[in-house]
A = this chain, B = another copy of it.
Amino acid sequence: MTYCCGLLVREGLVMIADTRTNAGLDNVSTFRKLHVFSKPGERILAVAAAGNLAISQSVLSTLNEGLPDSPEGEPETLMNAPSMFKAAQRIGRAIRHINATEGPALRAEDILAEVSFLFGGQIKGEKMRLFMVYPAGNFIECTIDTPYLQIGEHKYGKPVLDRAMHYDIELYEALKTGLISMDSTMRSNLGVGLPLDVLVVRDGVCDADLHHRVEAGEPYFHDLRSRWSAALRAAHKNIPLPPYKTQSQS
Q: How far is the CA of A210 from the CA of B238 in the complex (A)?
A: 22
Contact among B156, B208, B234, B249 for A156, CB-based, below 8 A: B156
- Each complex incorporates copies of this chain amounting to 2
Contact across chains for A211 and B176 when beta carbons are under 8 A apart:
no
The digit string for A173-195, where 1 denotes a CB below 8 A from any CB of B, is 10111011000100110000000
Whether A68 is near chain B, meaning CB under 8 Å from some CB there, is: no
**A223: chain B residues within 8 A (beta carbon):** 240
User: With A212-B244, A247-B210 given, is the CB distance from A236 to B180 under 8 Å?
Assistant: yes
Whether A250 is near chain B, meaning CB under 8 Å from some CB there, is: yes
Contact across chains for B159 and A184 when beta carbons are under 8 A apart:
yes
Whether A91 is near chain B, meaning CB under 8 Å from some CB there, is: no
Q: How far is the CA of A153 from the CA of B205 in the complex (A)?
A: 41
For residue A4, give the distance in angstroms from its CB to the closest CB of chain B: 17
Contact across chains for A246 and B210 when beta carbons are under 8 A apart:
yes
Contact across chains for B247 and A211 when beta carbons are under 8 A apart:
yes
Whether A38 is near chain B, meaning CB under 8 Å from some CB there, is: yes
Whether A243 is near chain B, meaning CB under 8 Å from some CB there, is: yes
User: With A36-B250, A163-B232, A163-B233 given, is the CB distance from A241 to B176 under 8 Å?
Assistant: yes
Q: How far is the CA of A37 from the CA of B250 in the complex (A)?
A: 7
For residue A169, give the distance in angstroms from its CB to the closest CB of chain B: 10
For residue A212, give the distance in angstroms from its CB to the closest CB of chain B: 5
A5-35 at interface with B (beta carbon < 8 Å): none
Residue of A227, A240, A242 contacting most chain B CB atoms (<10 Å)? A242
Whether A203 is near chain B, meaning CB under 8 Å from some CB there, is: no
User: With A36-B250, A211-B249 given, is the CB distance from A172 to B241 under 8 Å?
Assistant: yes
A and B contact pairs by CB, cutoff 8 A, 6 listed: A156-B159, A163-B229, A172-B242, A177-B236, A210-B245, A223-B240
In addition to A163-B187, A163-B229, 15 A-B residue pairs with Cβ atoms within 8 Å of each other are A36-B249, A37-B250, A155-B155, A162-B188, A176-B242, A180-B236, A198-B244, A208-B249, A210-B244, A210-B246, A211-B248, A212-B247, A227-B238, A231-B232, A235-B235
